[in-house]
Amino acid sequence: MNLVPIAARVGAPRIVPTRGIPFPAGDPSLDPEAERAWRRRLLETALVAVSTEVHKPTIFDPMLVAPAPA
């Protein structure tokens, strides 16, 4: 079951879709280095999300959102 529509439905303002319910901050199908890079990507996306003005539930796709400039 995908949680993103539920999160949007209950009004979560900033939502980052991840790859699976049992591992929201990881991906066990990847080797450790790649998984850590994916986790970094998720957190970078989350930081973009909290730095972005939103007016309703908004999805920040980690595959599409560019990291904030360092």
Q: Residue numbers of the site for another protein (CB under 8 A)?
A: 1-7, 9-14, 18, 21-26, 28, 36, 39-40, 42-44, 46-47, 50-56, 68, 70
Spell out the residues 6+ positions from residue 65 whose beta carbon is closer than 8 angstroms to its own.
44, 45, 48, 49
Q: Which of 34, 59, 36 is nearest to 49 (CA)?
A: 59
Least Å distance between CB 50 and another protein?
A: 4
Least Å distance between CB 34 and another protein?
A: 13
Least Å distance between CB 40 and another protein?
A: 5
Name residue, tokens 């049992």.
22
